[in-house]
Amino acid sequence: MGRFSKMHGLGNDFVVIDARTGPVAMTEARVRAIADRHAGIGCDQLIMIGDAPDADVSMQIFNADGSEVEACGNATRCVPLFVGRDVTIRTKAGLLDARLIDGGASVDMGAPRFEWDAIPLAYAMDTLTMPASWEDLPAPAAVNVGNPHIIFFVEDLDAVPVERLGPLIEQDPLFPQRVNVNFAQMVGDRHVRLIVWERGAGLTRACGTGACATAVAGIRRKLTSGPVTVTLPGGDLVIDWTPGGTIQMTGSATHVFDGEADWTRF
Ligand SMILES: N[C@@H](CCC[C@H](N)C(=O)O)C(=O)O
């Protein structure tokens, strides 16, 4: 039997497995079965915490569709809560520092990247105002914050057909590794509303890296300046970034329950 914790950051939920006590073989099919909300435990992402030679712990991140990815902001805030103290975390996107605060955590998410081949895009173009549009949504920005994001700043967020456009853009051949799709509306000088269609997970209640990418794109476009409050369907994150620096993300992290499961049954 293997132990796990059910956790979430603003309703973006995780099955967190402690692989420090023994290896857990995770296949794409097994992740999909565990993440299944009807026949499995149910989660947006499955997180495996392990040992790391150069950090307190390592974190592996799997989307609900079984794909392994580089970064997950909301899960990163859950890691110090899971471990019980401030931690350095080795991820595929680099080494991250996560500090516990009252009710959540603050994380240094590293420096964003803007080069077209770092997003990555299929061919060279300006990533601040992309010469591309989907239906009547023009000129998005692209940012890599460990994982790839595209951000549309819109006038009326409620009018965007997120569930129709999200998967279409996620799978567009312009994005060789697919993409997380962010729809954002400025609602104040330092306040943005955001809905995210996540690569490999679909519509989630919150996306930490999406909030980081959106705040960075808004600051680069001079629509806002940090710290920026990002309101997602699941609640608020505060994101701070100054050009040339690293991104600071602060917000809640929640432990729901602990359980045991026989992973070979999935
Ligand atoms: N929910 C996450 C992002 C998870 C990974 C993402 N779907 C991807 O494929 O890159 C967050 O809080 O950042």
In the set 43, 78, 207, 212, the catalytic residue is 207
Strand residue runs (E) in the chain:
2-9, 12-18, 45-50, 57-63, 68-69, 87-91, 94-101, 104-108, 133-134, 137-138, 141-144, 148-153, 180-188, 191-198, 202-203, 228-232, 235-240, 248-252, 254-261
In the set 43, 72, 78, 212, the catalytic residue is 72
- The overall pTM is greater than 0.90: yes
> How many angstroms separate the CA atoms of 262 and 144, rounded?
36
Q: Which domains does the chain have, with CATH numbers?
A: 2-104 (3.10.310.10), 133-251 (3.10.310.10)
* Model-level ipTM above the cut of 0.95: yes
Beta-carbon contacts of 140 under 8 Å, excluding residues fewer than 6 positions away, are 130, 132, 150, 151, 152
Q: Is 207 a catalytic residue?
A: yes
Annotated binding residue 74? yes
Q: Chain-wide mean pLDDT for the chain? A: 97
Encoded amino acid at 154, one letter: V
Ligand 1 nearest atom to the CA of residue 178, by list position: 9
Task: Report helix, strand or coil for 77.
Answer: helix
> How many angstroms separate the CA atoms of 14 and 258, rounded?
12
> How many angstroms separate the CA atoms of 24 and 266, rounded?
12
Beta pairing partners, 34? none
> How many angstroms separate the CA atoms of 11 and 189, rounded?
26
Annotated binding residue 73? yes
Ligand 1 nearest atom to the CA of residue 76, by list position: 12
Provide the pLDDT for residue 244: 98
Contact predicate 93/70, CB 8 Å = yes
Burial of 29 (C-beta count, 10 Å sphere; 0-12/13-18/19+): exposed
Half-sphere exposure of 135 (CA within 13 A, CB side): 11
- Which residue, among 198, 201, 219, 224, has the nearest Cα to 210 in the 3D structure? 198
- Which residue, among 84, 19, 11, 81, has the nearest Cα to 42 in the 3D structure? 11
Burial of 218 (C-beta count, 10 Å sphere; 0-12/13-18/19+): buried
Angle between helices 208-220 and 73-83 (to 10 degrees): 130
Ligand 1 nearest atom to the CA of residue 149, by list position: 10
Measured from the CB, is residue 109 less than 6 Å from ligand 1? no
Give residue 238 CA to ligand 1 midpoint distance, Å.
Answer: 17
Collect the ranges in the chain with pLDDT lower than 50: none
Give residue 55 CA to ligand 1 midpoint distance, Å.
Answer: 21
Give residue 243 CA to ligand 1 midpoint distance, Å.
Answer: 23
Measured from the CB, is residue 63 less than 6 Å from ligand 1? yes
Dihedral of alpha carbons 91, 208, 202, 224, sign: negative
Annotated binding residue 199? yes
Q: Whose CA is nearest to atom 3 of ligand 1?
A: 72
Give residue 208 CA to ligand 1 midpoint distance, Å.
Answer: 7
Contact predicate 228/217, CB 8 Å = no
Beta-carbon contacts of 157 under 8 Å, excluding residues fewer than 6 positions away, are 183, 184, 185, 193, 195
> How many angstroms separate the CA atoms of 48 and 61, rounded?
7
Annotated binding residue 198? yes
Give residue 172 CA to ligand 1 midpoint distance, Å.
Answer: 18
